[in-house]
A and B are shown apart, each in its own frame.
Chain A
Amino acid sequence: MPAASLLETEPGWGQGDSLWQPRRPAFWLAAVLLVLGALLLYSRVSPGLNVDLGAASLTLVIWTLYAVPLVLLIVGLDLIEPEPPAFLASAFAWGALVATSVAMVANTATQSLMTKLAGPEFTHAWWPALSGPTTEETVKALGIVVVVLIARRQVTTVLDGLVYGLFVGLGFQVAENIVYTADRLPLAAFGGSPGRVVLDMFILRGLALGLWSHAVYTGFVGFGIAFALIRVDRSRWVRAAVLLGSCTAAWGLHFLWNTPFLQPERAGAPAWEDIVLYVGKGLPALCLVIVVYVFARRREVAWFACVLHDEADVTPAELEALTSLRGRRAACRAARRARGRNGARAMHRLQRAQVRLALTRARSPDRDSPAVQSARAAVREARRAVADEGLGEG
């Protein structure tokens, strides 16, 4: 299973830094910007949210719930070496607080500038396509850069970069949707209920227009940044080209989404036509991110197999199961069927101990170091618990 061609660089699993880095200027920069961003965002949304307390609560609840399955999906992508929740939360917060508020200020300025230089009609047509990708993708990308500057060793694989990018983008997506919803709540005074305004916005921006927009764009950028940082086996030119290509892809796909050429042309067009158009515009981004994920994951799986292939404490079948969420769940489900909830819990514990063993071995130059020995002992103990549940060899 190990593919030599995929293993030029070591992922450096388990070597992560803490988020608390008071000696690093990037830490304080991020802290200050997060506070300022939160204040700016609050001042922007509070007039809208103050219109109706119920609608404000619904706005926050509905967009938080919207984020939950997407967070779980992204976390599920990073199965082998999950990123610490504190870092993922920071990436999300950068996207939600810093990127959104900086983009708001910058977009307002570009909108005014474009109107002055090119006129309102040109601005109406092209400002979203030109300014949105430029300001928003840049400031979102900075979130990934800041994670690297705070804790370089936290981004150890290209998949890490992709995951951080997805989190930054998702944070932006959720905060932007809250801003747009808050903007519209005062308009409920013209008719209709504030709750209806919230639901309409959720359907329009959450489901029809924005299921995978910002998260996916920033995912590309995260992949590119991580590739440029990590793949030192590749020439500087190749790394620069991948970084440039991923940033261009993010900008281009965002541009494609906002371009005036690909908008519904007729008033009153049936809703399904609009949805087909939007799905069609969004599909290239979704397909491309799937390709990028498959590429990034292949490397992690290859490394995982390479690290564990000579471990007696991990059977080939277990190794196969560990490399995918589906395989892990299938093993836990089989344990649950055989021995109930305790059996599933014991199997889950064994899997976690085996993943920890892989991370410890990747980090340790000596395959029999005390840390590795300790991790092996933990696997054996977990296996005994599995056996105690009557699950045989586990």
Chain B
Amino acid sequence: MEDTRSADTWDRTHLVATAAVAAVVLAFTVGLPLVDTFVEPRTRDAVAAGTQIVLSTDRNEVAAVPSPGTTAATFVPAAGWGRSREHDSPRGSVVLAHDGISFEVRVVETAGEQACPAVLRTAARSLEDLDPTGTLGSSRTFVTDAGHTGLTAPFLGSRVEGLAFAVCAGAVAVTAVATGPVGSLNGVSAPDGPVMSMTRSIEIA
């Protein structure tokens, strides 16, 4: 396989194969993301930015008004998040989805704010069900835009990662659980990311 070509010419022997390698890399890095942008999310009721979702122990409708005498909470979905079609949300909860991450918000009645750690622990069970190899990290407090105090804790598993939240006010608590495959929450769980902004928007009536 003696090569007698001059040093300043291209060796075209494997040009097609090299182009094929480049094509695969382009397909993965440009083609797939491009296809993704053109595919419509299979979510029900894509929620317009700024829409307020009302959750209550009585009903669960977008922008609906709960019946008098029922506990209720509201939150504002981030832009681009939509209600998951596969989830026919049970009363008092809603599941939003975006880019492989689901965000479930639920309103529950509790024995008081002192029960908030237990509420958080209960919310995190859904993460453990998804990936029993994971562990729930230590919790820390945060304050919502409405001034409610909440607790949050990270969940780290070998396949699934998540963040669990519990916001408590009086005898009402709202839990939120963000779940995604490992590595998916890296950007969205940042302090100014959509998960945190949705959580901070929780308001208990």
The reply to whether B156 and A113 form a contact with Cβ atoms under 8 Å apart is no
The reply to whether B41 and A128 form a contact with Cβ atoms under 8 Å apart is no
Q: Describe B's contact surface by its main secondary structure.
A: mixed
Instruction: Give residues of chain B (55-92) contacting chain A, Cβ–Cβ below 8 Å.
Output: 84-87
Which one of A21, A98, A110, A258 lies within 8 Å of B159 (CB-CB)? Answer: A258
How far, in Å, is A343 (CB) from chain B's closest CB? 42
How far, in Å, is A253 (CB) from chain B's closest CB? 17
- Any chain A CB within 8 A of the CB of B4? no
Closest to B82 in A: A116
Instruction: Give residues of chain A (137-184) contacting chain B, Cβ–Cβ below 8 Å.
Output: 138-139, 142, 145-146, 149, 152-153, 179-180, 183-184
With A116-B39, A123-B100 as given contacts, are A111 and B181 in contact (CB-CB < 8 Å)? yes
Which residues of A sit under 8 angstroms from B22, Cβ to Cβ?
A: 29
Which residues of B sit under 8 angstroms from A145, Cβ to Cβ?
A: 17, 21
Report how many A-B pairs have Cβ atoms within 8 Å: 174
The reply to whether A124 and B18 form a contact with Cβ atoms under 8 Å apart is no
How far, in Å, is B186 (CB) from chain A's closest CB? 5
Closest to B3 in A: A23
The reply to whether B179 and A142 form a contact with Cβ atoms under 8 Å apart is no
Q: In the complex the two chains form, what is the Cα distance from A108 to B181 in whole Å? A: 10
The reply to whether A266 and B132 form a contact with Cβ atoms under 8 Å apart is yes
The reply to whether A189 and B140 form a contact with Cβ atoms under 8 Å apart is yes
The reply to whether B14 and A264 form a contact with Cβ atoms under 8 Å apart is no
Which residues of A sit under 8 angstroms from B190, Cβ to Cβ?
A: 186
Which residues of A sit under 8 angstroms from B85, Cβ to Cβ?
A: 119
- Any chain B CB within 8 A of the CB of A26? yes
The reply to whether B181 and A146 form a contact with Cβ atoms under 8 Å apart is no
The reply to whether A204 and B158 form a contact with Cβ atoms under 8 Å apart is yes
- Any chain A CB within 8 A of the CB of B146? no
The reply to whether B11 and A184 form a contact with Cβ atoms under 8 Å apart is no
Chain A residues within 8 Å of chain B by Cβ, number: 67
Which one of B87, B99, B130, B182 lies within 8 Å of A180 (CB-CB)? Answer: B182
Instruction: Give residues of chain B (2-29) contacting chain A, Cβ–Cβ below 8 Å.
Output: 5, 7, 9-11, 13-15, 17-19, 21-22, 24-25, 28-29
Q: In the complex the two chains form, what is the Cα distance from A290 to B35 in whole Å? A: 40
The reply to whether A109 and B137 form a contact with Cβ atoms under 8 Å apart is no
The reply to whether A120 and B102 form a contact with Cβ atoms under 8 Å apart is yes
- Any chain B CB within 8 A of the CB of A35? no
* Residue among B100, B156, B160 with max Cβ neighbours from chain A (10 Å): B100
Which one of A128, A184, A191 lies within 8 Å of B181 (CB-CB)? Answer: A128
With A117-B42, A264-B132, A267-B129 as given contacts, are A24 and B21 in contact (CB-CB < 8 Å)? no
Contact flags (1/0) for A86-126 with B, using CB distance below 8 Å?
00000000000010001111101111111111111111100
Contact flags (1/0) for B114-134 with A, using CB distance below 8 Å?
000000000001001111110
Contact flags (1/0) for B153-197 with A, using CB distance below 8 Å?
110101110000000000000000001111110100010000000
With A111-B100, A120-B102, A266-B132 as given contacts, are A191 and B36 in contact (CB-CB < 8 Å)? no
The reply to whether B130 and A124 form a contact with Cβ atoms under 8 Å apart is yes
The reply to whether A149 and B18 form a contact with Cβ atoms under 8 Å apart is yes
User: Size class of B's contact patch?
Assistant: 35 or more
Which residues of B sit under 8 angstroms from A123, Cβ to Cβ?
A: 100, 181
Which residues of B sit under 8 angstroms from A237, Cβ to Cβ?
A: none
- Any chain B CB within 8 A of the CB of A25? yes
Which residues of A sit under 8 angstroms from B14, Cβ to Cβ?
A: 24-26, 149, 152
The reply to whether B158 and A209 form a contact with Cβ atoms under 8 Å apart is yes
Which residues of B sit under 8 angstroms from A189, Cβ to Cβ?
A: 140
Which one of B32, B100, B132 lies within 8 Å of A120 (CB-CB)? Answer: B100
Which residues of A sit under 8 angstroms from B140, Cβ to Cβ?
A: 189-191
* Residue among B128, B137, B179 with max Cβ neighbours from chain A (10 Å): B137
Closest to A260 in B: B159
Which residues of A sit under 8 angstroms from B36, Cβ to Cβ?
A: 109, 112-113, 116
The reply to whether B28 and A102 form a contact with Cβ atoms under 8 Å apart is yes
The reply to whether B137 and A191 form a contact with Cβ atoms under 8 Å apart is yes
Q: In the complex the two chains form, what is the Cα distance from A183 to B154 in whole Å? A: 12
The reply to whether A128 and B159 form a contact with Cβ atoms under 8 Å apart is yes
With A112-B100, A114-B100, A120-B101 as given contacts, are A267 and B132 in contact (CB-CB < 8 Å)? yes
- Any chain B CB within 8 A of the CB of A265? yes
Q: In the complex the two chains form, what is the Cα distance from A223 to B131 in whole Å? A: 34
The reply to whether A190 and B152 form a contact with Cβ atoms under 8 Å apart is yes
How far, in Å, is A232 (CB) from chain B's closest CB? 14
The reply to whether A267 and B128 form a contact with Cβ atoms under 8 Å apart is yes
- Any chain B CB within 8 A of the CB of A70? no
Which residues of B sit under 8 angstroms from A25, Cβ to Cβ?
A: 10-11, 14-15, 18-19
The reply to whether B156 and A115 form a contact with Cβ atoms under 8 Å apart is no
Which residues of A sit under 8 angstroms from B15, Cβ to Cβ?
A: 25
- Any chain A CB within 8 A of the CB of B110? no
The reply to whether B138 and A105 form a contact with Cβ atoms under 8 Å apart is no
Which residues of A sit under 8 angstroms from B128, Cβ to Cβ?
A: 267
Closest to A209 in B: B158
**Which 10 interchain pairs have the tightest Cβ spacing?**
A191-B138, A111-B100, A109-B32, A120-B102, A119-B86, A106-B28, A267-B128, A115-B100, A112-B99, A187-B154
18 A-B pairs whose Cβ atoms sit less than 8 Å apart in the complex? A23-B5, A23-B9, A25-B11, A25-B14, A26-B18, A103-B28, A111-B99, A115-B99, A116-B43, A120-B97, A179-B183, A180-B183, A184-B156, A187-B154, A190-B139, A263-B132, A267-B128, A274-B133
* 13 more A-B residue pairs beyond the given contacts A25-B14, A263-B158, with a C-beta to C-beta distance below 8 A: A23-B5, A23-B7, A24-B11, A104-B183, A109-B33, A109-B35, A112-B36, A113-B32, A146-B21, A152-B1, A190-B137, A190-B140, A190-B154
